[in-house]
A and B are shown apart, each in its own frame.
Chain A
Amino acid sequence: GAGVSQTPSNKVTEKGKYVELRCDPISGHTALYWYRQSLGQGPEFLIYFQGTGAADDSGLPNDRFFAVRPEGSVSTLKIQRTERGDSAVYLCASSFRGTYNEQFFGPGTRLTVL
Protein backbone atom coordinates (compact mmCIF):
# COMPACT_ATOMS: atom_id res chain seq x y z
CA GLY A 1 0.00 0.00 0.00
CA ALA A 2 0.95 3.65 -0.23
CA GLY A 3 3.26 5.07 2.37
CA VAL A 4 3.31 8.54 3.88
CA SER A 5 3.60 11.22 1.23
CA GLN A 6 4.65 14.83 1.63
CA THR A 7 4.37 17.74 -0.74
CA PRO A 8 6.23 19.63 -1.93
CA SER A 9 9.52 17.78 -1.72
CA ASN A 10 11.37 21.08 -1.84
CA LYS A 11 10.23 24.58 -1.03
CA VAL A 12 12.28 27.72 -1.41
CA THR A 13 10.81 30.90 -0.04
CA GLU A 14 11.86 34.36 1.00
CA LYS A 15 12.11 35.60 4.54
CA GLY A 16 8.76 36.89 5.75
CA LYS A 17 6.63 34.75 3.44
CA TYR A 18 3.96 32.22 4.42
CA VAL A 19 4.34 28.53 3.57
CA GLU A 20 2.19 25.43 3.80
CA LEU A 21 3.54 21.91 3.91
CA ARG A 22 1.26 18.97 3.30
CA CYS A 23 1.30 15.44 4.69
CA ASP A 24 -0.80 12.52 3.50
CA PRO A 25 -0.59 9.70 6.07
CA ILE A 26 -1.12 6.00 5.62
CA SER A 27 -4.82 5.22 5.35
CA GLY A 28 -6.25 4.11 8.68
CA HIS A 29 -3.51 5.65 10.80
CA THR A 30 -5.14 7.81 13.44
CA ALA A 31 -1.91 9.32 14.74
CA LEU A 32 0.08 11.86 12.75
CA TYR A 33 3.30 13.63 13.72
CA TRP A 34 5.33 16.53 12.47
CA TYR A 35 9.06 16.81 13.08
CA ARG A 36 11.78 19.19 12.02
CA GLN A 37 15.26 17.91 11.24
CA SER A 38 18.24 20.16 10.84
CA LEU A 39 21.45 18.97 9.25
CA GLY A 40 23.32 16.52 11.43
CA GLN A 41 20.64 16.38 14.11
CA GLY A 42 17.87 14.07 15.15
CA PRO A 43 14.23 14.79 14.33
CA GLU A 44 12.79 17.40 16.65
CA PHE A 45 9.19 16.80 17.65
CA LEU A 46 6.75 19.58 16.71
CA ILE A 47 3.18 18.33 17.06
CA TYR A 48 1.18 15.14 17.34
CA PHE A 49 -2.41 14.61 16.21
CA GLN A 50 -4.73 11.89 17.36
CA GLY A 51 -7.58 12.04 14.86
CA THR A 52 -8.50 15.65 14.17
CA GLY A 53 -7.20 17.11 17.40
CA ALA A 54 -3.68 18.08 18.43
CA ALA A 55 -2.87 15.76 21.34
CA ASP A 56 0.47 17.44 21.96
CA ASP A 57 1.70 20.67 20.36
CA SER A 58 4.40 21.35 22.91
CA GLY A 59 7.13 21.17 20.26
CA LEU A 60 5.90 24.06 18.13
CA PRO A 61 8.67 26.67 18.55
CA ASN A 62 6.44 29.76 18.53
CA ASP A 63 3.10 31.08 17.33
CA ARG A 64 4.30 31.41 13.74
CA PHE A 65 3.89 27.64 13.46
CA PHE A 66 0.47 26.06 13.23
CA ALA A 67 -0.84 22.71 12.01
CA VAL A 68 -4.27 21.36 11.18
CA ARG A 69 -5.82 18.03 10.40
CA PRO A 70 -9.48 18.90 9.80
CA GLU A 71 -10.76 15.50 8.66
CA GLY A 72 -8.39 13.27 10.56
CA SER A 73 -6.31 12.31 7.54
CA VAL A 74 -4.31 14.90 5.58
CA SER A 75 -2.46 17.46 7.66
CA THR A 76 -1.01 20.84 6.80
CA LEU A 77 1.82 22.53 8.65
CA LYS A 78 1.66 26.30 8.27
CA ILE A 79 4.51 28.67 8.92
CA GLN A 80 3.91 32.42 8.94
CA ARG A 81 6.52 35.14 8.50
CA THR A 82 9.24 32.61 7.75
CA GLU A 83 12.73 33.21 9.08
CA ARG A 84 16.07 31.88 7.86
CA GLY A 85 16.26 29.74 11.00
CA ASP A 86 13.16 27.84 9.85
CA SER A 87 15.22 26.23 7.08
CA ALA A 88 15.22 22.47 7.70
CA VAL A 89 13.68 19.23 6.52
CA TYR A 90 10.14 18.88 7.83
CA LEU A 91 9.20 15.27 8.38
CA CYS A 92 5.76 13.81 8.74
CA ALA A 93 5.00 10.39 10.20
CA SER A 94 1.90 8.39 10.96
CA SER A 95 1.14 5.42 13.16
CA PHE A 96 -1.74 3.22 14.08
CA ARG A 97 -3.10 4.79 17.27
CA GLY A 98 -0.55 6.19 19.72
CA THR A 99 3.14 6.98 19.91
CA TYR A 100 3.83 3.60 21.47
CA ASN A 101 3.50 2.18 17.96
CA GLU A 102 5.93 2.17 15.09
CA GLN A 103 5.90 5.41 13.11
CA PHE A 104 6.08 5.39 9.33
CA PHE A 105 7.91 8.39 7.95
CA GLY A 106 7.49 10.32 4.77
CA PRO A 107 10.37 11.55 2.62
CA GLY A 108 10.20 15.04 4.08
CA THR A 109 9.91 18.56 2.69
CA ARG A 110 13.15 20.50 2.49
CA LEU A 111 12.34 24.12 3.32
CA THR A 112 14.87 26.79 2.46
CA VAL A 113 14.23 30.35 3.58
CA LEU A 114 16.39 32.88 1.75
Chain B
Amino acid sequence: AQKVTQAQTEISVVEKEDVTLDCVYETRDTTYYLFWYKQPPSGELVFLIRRNSFDEQNEISGRYSWNFQKSTSSFNFTITASQVVDSAVYFCALSGGDNYGQNFVFGPGTRLSVLP
Protein backbone atom coordinates (compact mmCIF):
# COMPACT_ATOMS: atom_id res chain seq x y z
CA ALA B 1 0.00 0.00 0.00
CA GLN B 2 1.14 3.51 -0.70
CA LYS B 3 1.39 6.16 1.97
CA VAL B 4 2.35 9.82 2.24
CA THR B 5 3.28 11.41 5.55
CA GLN B 6 3.44 15.12 6.22
CA ALA B 7 4.51 15.31 9.83
CA GLN B 8 4.02 19.07 10.16
CA THR B 9 0.36 19.78 10.70
CA GLU B 10 0.72 23.55 10.96
CA ILE B 11 3.58 25.97 10.50
CA SER B 12 3.63 29.70 11.17
CA VAL B 13 6.36 31.98 9.90
CA VAL B 14 6.85 35.69 9.60
CA GLU B 15 6.96 37.17 6.12
CA LYS B 16 10.36 36.90 4.38
CA GLU B 17 11.39 33.86 6.39
CA ASP B 18 12.29 30.65 4.56
CA VAL B 19 10.18 27.59 5.33
CA THR B 20 10.49 23.90 4.43
CA LEU B 21 7.55 21.55 4.26
CA ASP B 22 8.41 17.90 4.74
CA CYS B 23 7.03 14.95 2.81
CA VAL B 24 7.92 11.30 3.31
CA TYR B 25 6.41 8.58 1.17
CA GLU B 26 6.14 4.80 1.03
CA THR B 27 5.66 2.73 -2.09
CA ARG B 28 6.65 -0.63 -3.51
CA ASP B 29 6.45 0.60 -7.08
CA THR B 30 9.70 1.11 -8.95
CA THR B 31 8.13 3.78 -11.10
CA TYR B 32 6.14 6.44 -9.33
CA TYR B 33 5.37 10.13 -9.40
CA LEU B 34 5.39 12.69 -6.65
CA PHE B 35 3.40 15.90 -6.60
CA TRP B 36 2.86 19.01 -4.54
CA TYR B 37 -0.47 20.82 -4.56
CA LYS B 38 -1.51 24.08 -2.91
CA GLN B 39 -4.98 24.65 -1.48
CA PRO B 40 -5.48 28.36 -0.74
CA PRO B 41 -8.31 29.60 1.48
CA SER B 42 -10.53 29.83 -1.61
CA GLY B 43 -10.47 26.03 -1.64
CA GLU B 44 -9.39 24.92 -5.12
CA LEU B 45 -6.32 22.70 -5.30
CA VAL B 46 -3.57 24.02 -7.54
CA PHE B 47 -0.78 21.92 -9.00
CA LEU B 48 2.76 23.05 -8.16
CA ILE B 49 5.17 20.35 -9.32
CA ARG B 50 5.55 16.76 -10.48
CA ARG B 51 8.60 14.55 -10.13
CA ASN B 52 9.13 11.01 -11.44
CA SER B 53 11.08 8.43 -9.50
CA PHE B 54 13.95 8.39 -11.97
CA ASP B 55 14.66 12.09 -11.78
CA GLU B 56 16.33 13.10 -8.53
CA GLN B 57 17.43 16.49 -9.70
CA ASN B 58 16.32 19.25 -7.42
CA GLU B 59 14.15 21.89 -8.97
CA ILE B 60 13.80 25.60 -8.42
CA SER B 61 10.95 27.75 -9.65
CA GLY B 62 11.17 31.32 -8.46
CA ARG B 63 10.90 31.29 -4.67
CA TYR B 64 9.93 27.59 -4.65
CA SER B 65 12.38 24.70 -4.60
CA TRP B 66 12.01 20.97 -4.18
CA ASN B 67 14.46 18.41 -2.81
CA PHE B 68 13.80 14.81 -3.88
CA GLN B 69 15.87 12.12 -2.14
CA LYS B 70 15.05 8.48 -2.91
CA SER B 71 17.47 7.27 -0.25
CA THR B 72 15.27 8.77 2.46
CA SER B 73 11.97 8.57 0.51
CA SER B 74 11.49 12.29 0.92
CA PHE B 75 10.28 15.07 -1.33
CA ASN B 76 10.57 18.31 0.61
CA PHE B 77 9.35 21.71 -0.48
CA THR B 78 11.03 24.99 0.43
CA ILE B 79 9.61 28.47 0.07
CA THR B 80 12.24 31.18 0.17
CA ALA B 81 11.37 34.67 1.40
CA SER B 82 7.80 33.67 2.20
CA GLN B 83 4.92 36.04 1.49
CA VAL B 84 1.46 36.37 2.98
CA VAL B 85 -0.01 35.02 -0.28
CA ASP B 86 1.81 31.74 0.38
CA SER B 87 -0.60 31.06 3.25
CA ALA B 88 -2.44 27.87 2.31
CA VAL B 89 -2.58 24.16 2.94
CA TYR B 90 0.06 22.27 1.01
CA PHE B 91 -0.38 18.63 0.04
CA CYS B 92 2.20 16.13 -1.09
CA ALA B 93 0.84 13.31 -3.24
CA LEU B 94 2.05 10.04 -4.73
CA SER B 95 0.99 8.12 -7.81
CA GLY B 96 2.18 4.58 -8.40
CA GLY B 97 3.21 4.02 -11.99
CA ASP B 98 3.66 0.27 -12.22
CA ASN B 99 -0.06 -0.28 -12.67
CA TYR B 100 -0.82 2.38 -15.24
CA GLY B 101 -2.30 5.24 -13.32
CA GLN B 102 -3.55 3.59 -10.16
CA ASN B 103 -3.13 4.19 -6.48
CA PHE B 104 -3.11 7.92 -6.14
CA VAL B 105 -2.75 9.08 -2.55
CA PHE B 106 -2.53 12.48 -0.86
CA GLY B 107 -0.81 13.28 2.39
CA PRO B 108 -2.75 14.93 5.23
CA GLY B 109 -1.42 18.38 4.35
CA THR B 110 0.54 21.10 6.12
CA ARG B 111 -1.20 24.38 6.89
CA LEU B 112 1.22 27.26 6.37
CA SER B 113 0.45 30.65 7.84
CA VAL B 114 2.67 33.52 6.79
CA LEU B 115 2.25 36.47 9.10
CA PRO B 116 2.94 40.04 7.98
Chain B at the A interface: SS class: strand
Given A42-B107, A42-B108, verify A98-B45 contact (CB < 8 Å): no
CA distance A1 to B37 in the complex (A): 21
Contact in complex: B95, A100 (CB < 8 Å): yes
Q: Are A55 and B107 in contact (CB under 8 A)?
A: no
Q: Is A50's beta carbon under 8 Å from chain B?
A: yes
Does B33 count as interface, using CB distance less than 8 angstroms?
A: yes
Residues of A close to B91: CB separation below 8 A? 42-43
Complex contact B45–A105 (CB within 8 A) = yes
How many residues of A are in contact with the other chain, CB < 8 A?
A: 28
Chain B contact patch, size range: 20 to 34
A31 CA / B97 CA spacing, docked (Å): 15
Report the nearest A residue to B6, measured CB to CB.
A42
Which residues in B have their C-beta under 8 angstroms from that of A44? 106
Contacts of A106 in B (CB 8 A): 44
Q: A103-B47, A107-B43, A107-B44 are in contact. Are A41 and B104 (CB under 8 A)?
A: no
In the complex, 29 of the A-B residue pairs with CB atoms within 8 angstroms, ordered by the A residue number, are: A33-B104, A35-B106, A41-B109, A42-B106, A43-B91, A43-B106, A45-B106, A48-B104, A50-B101, A55-B101, A55-B102, A93-B45, A98-B100, A99-B33, A99-B95, A99-B101, A99-B102, A100-B33, A100-B50, A100-B97, A101-B50, A102-B35, A102-B47, A102-B50, A103-B47, A105-B45, A106-B44, A108-B43, A108-B44
- Interface residues of chain B, those whose CB is within 8 Å of chain A, are 33, 35, 37, 43-47, 50, 52, 91, 95, 97, 100-109
